[in-house]
Amino acid sequence: MRKLTTVAALAALSATPAFAASGPFFSLGNTDFIVTLGFILFVAVLFYFKVPSILAGMLDKRADDIKSELDEARGLREEAQTVLASYERKQKEVQEQAARIVEHAKSEAQAAADQAKVDLEASIARRLAAAEDQIASAEAAAVKEVRDQAIVVAISAARDVISQQMTAAQANKLIDAGITEVDAKLH
């Protein structure tokens, strides 16, 4: 700092406009000399009150504040990068989990569809068997009904034939034979 002050004082004293003025330079009537003296006095007062060291201290303090703010910003940036990496990792895990859930749901849906197909086939088979049973039962009922009807018709025809061909004596013989047969079977 002292070198700077010395250089400033020499520059002020060796100023060429001061030598260009008419008359003696070191006279109180020369305004250039008065301005130079005022400037040197101003610089001396600044050095007396240690303004350059105060300014340097303030600048150093400001530089330290800026450095601490930069360090804090770096720390925050690193923390933000850590948090970002953590969130990206979590996002990737969630995407993988979602993919697994979707795959599991697809496999369950396929299994459910396969099971529904098997159940449908079993239901169709049961219904076909039930329908075949109903058809067989209806067929058996129809056959029985036809037989019963045939029997009724045959009995009716036989009654008509027998009643037309049988006489009262033959009927009495048949009744007596029936009574004897029943008596023999019951005793």
- Residue 28's SS3 state is coil
pLDDT band at 11 (very low <50, low <70, confident <90, very high): low
Residue 156, pLDDT score: 84
Least confident interval from 38-47, 82-91, 103-112, 170-179 = 170-179
- Residue 136's SS3 state is helix
Residue 152, pLDDT score: 85
Of the two residues 152 and 112, the one the predictor is more confident about is 112
Residue 9, pLDDT score: 58
C-alpha closest to that of 53 among 121, 99, 4, 124? 4
Residue 10, pLDDT score: 59
- Residue 15's SS3 state is coil
Q: Output the pTM of the full model.
A: 0.39
Task: For the chain, report the end-to-end CA distance as a whole number of angstroms.
Answer: 159
Angle at 159 between CA 156 and CA 162, to 5 degrees: 150
Distance (Å, whole) CA 187 – CA 178:
14
What is the torsion angle, in degrees rounded to the nearest 10, for the CA atoms of residue 24, residue 25, residue 29 and residue 34? Answer: -170
Residues belonging to the chain: 187
Residue with tokens 């360090």: 71
Distance (Å, whole) CA 107 – CA 172:
87
Largest CA distance in the chain: 196
Residue 2, pLDDT score: 64
- Percentage with pLDDT > 90 across the chain: 52
Q: Is the pLDDT of residue 20 over 80?
A: no
Residue with tokens 């450095």: 67
Distance (Å) of CA 163 to CA 89, 153, 159, 167: 107, 15, 6, 8
Give the range with max mean pLDDT: 48-52, 68-72, 182-186. Answer: 68-72
DSSP 14: T
Residue with tokens 């033959």: 170
Are 50 and 44 in contact, with CB atoms under 8 Å apart? no
Residue 147, pLDDT score: 87
